[in-house]
Amino acid sequence: MTDLLKIYQDLFADYGKWRYYNKLNIDPFLSIENSKEFVLKFIELSGKADGNPLFDNIIKLDDKRIKHIVSTYFLGIYLYHNSDKIKCLADKIVNRYQSQNLDSRIKFSFIWYLICLFHDLGYDIENNQTFKSFDEFIEGKVKYYLKERVGVPLVFEKTYVNYFNYRLNSSNRNLKKPDHGICGGILLFDILNSNLIKKQLQNSKYFSWNKNLINVYRFASWVILSHNIYFTKKGNSNELEYLENNLQDLILSKTNKPKIKLKTHTFLYLFQLVDSIDPIKLVSDYENLKDFEFKCFNDILEIKINNIYLQRKYTERIKDLNWWLIPDLNVTENRIFIPLK
């Protein structure tokens, strides 16, 4: 097994596995300043910074959020290259979008970067803006609305508007705010659509701006929109509130199988997994990633926690995955086994 910081550092040194843009050579693990510059540079090099308010929101994110973005990106890259199952399923999706964009270079790292780098950029809206309803949130803001669900279960298409309104009206003060995932997914699609049309008119010689890129943007935006919509268990204290807000499809009983499946929702499944198991959410500092050892072999991810003070906190967090994402999760005192299937 290898500690997670070394995994990240080794990946960073192996540019061919993650670097979509050749000019991106900033080591994000040296400092928080480097982490922020890494994220900013990635978006700038892609030509997606101009007129993108979500790009501007990066500088407002706290240090922990920036590190989390970097960590989810490299952890997903690690699993992609070390799980045959994930790579095979993800490549089918990548190849489909590549066939639609023959004059572009569509790779796993391109789609994964869109999802990871923009998934938390709605936090400034969540923390600093208020709305009475979902309709008020989108009014006057969205020209190109996110439709034609792709890459996520039907349950999210059916519930995201009600879920947004449920949160706005929740009696729980921690929930009573706009959902950053829904905000981010809808605004990102609108912004990238506008940017694509503008770049086509400019006929840039540096990038290919095929109109079919919008299909990739739609795919990534649906994953971002869905990633923070929470299921609840039948019998939980918030079950009645879910029913009152027409969110019954998000209530899971013991007999329900997970709605998100690796085979049919590969990128969302991978992102939900990575977002949940990222130790940065718990420890904040890259150096502390040395307390976590990872090994992915035969499509089983094994995690070992070497810090006794972190074992209970981390395993308690991971155990929650067994009822809504990974039923076969196996947790011992200091080890976690996650079958990728």
Mean pLDDT score of the chain, rounded to an integer? Answer: 91
Q: How far is CA 169 from the centre of its chain?
A: 25
How many Cβ atoms sit within 10 Å of the Cβ of residue 1?
A: 15
**Cα–Cα dist 339/4, whole Å:** 19
3-class state of residue 139 by DSSP? coil
pLDDT number for residue 51: 63
pLDDT number for residue 54: 63
Q: What is the mean pLDDT of the segment spanning 127-146?
A: 91
User: Any idea which of 158-172, 186-200, 283-297 has the lowest mean pLDDT?
Assistant: 186-200
**Within the chain, what is the greatest distance between any pair of CA atoms?**
58
User: Any idea which of 35-49, 97-111, 157-171, 256-270 has the lowest mean pLDDT?
Assistant: 35-49
DSSP, res 230 = P
218 burial (CB, 10 Å; 0-12 / 13-18 / 19+) is buried
Q: What is the mean pLDDT of the segment spanning 297-324?
A: 94
User: Any idea which of 35-49, 79-93, 141-155, 218-232 has the lowest mean pLDDT?
Assistant: 35-49
Q: pLDDT at residue 205 above 60?
A: no
Confidence of residue 23 (pLDDT cuts 50, 70, 90): confident
Q: What long-range pairs does 146-150 form, CB within 8 A, spacing at least 24?
A: 146/185, 146/186, 146/189, 146/190, 146/218, 146/221, 146/222, 146/225, 148/218, 149/222, 150/215, 150/218, 150/219, 150/222
Residues 241-254 as b/e (b if ≥16 CB within 10 A, e otherwise) read: bbeebebebbbbee
**Cα–Cα dist 15/328, whole Å:** 34
Write out the DSSP string of 300-339.
Answer: EEEEEE--HHHHHHHHHHHHTHHHHT-TT-EE-SSEEEEE
**What percentage of the chain exceeds 70 in pLDDT?**
94
pLDDT in tens, 244-276: 999 999 999 988 899 999 999 999 999 999 999
Query: Backbone phi, then psi, for 247, in 5-degree steps?
Result: -115, 30
pLDDT number for residue 48: 66
- Write down the H helix ranges in 153-179: 154-168
pLDDT number for residue 249: 97
Q: Which of 199, 224, 226 is nearest to 213 (CA)?
A: 199
Write out the DSSP string of 262-306.
Answer: TTTSHHHHHHHHHHHH-THHHH-SGGGGGGEEEEEETTEEEEEE-
What pTM did the predictor assign? 0.94
**What percentage of the chain exceeds 90 in pLDDT?**
72
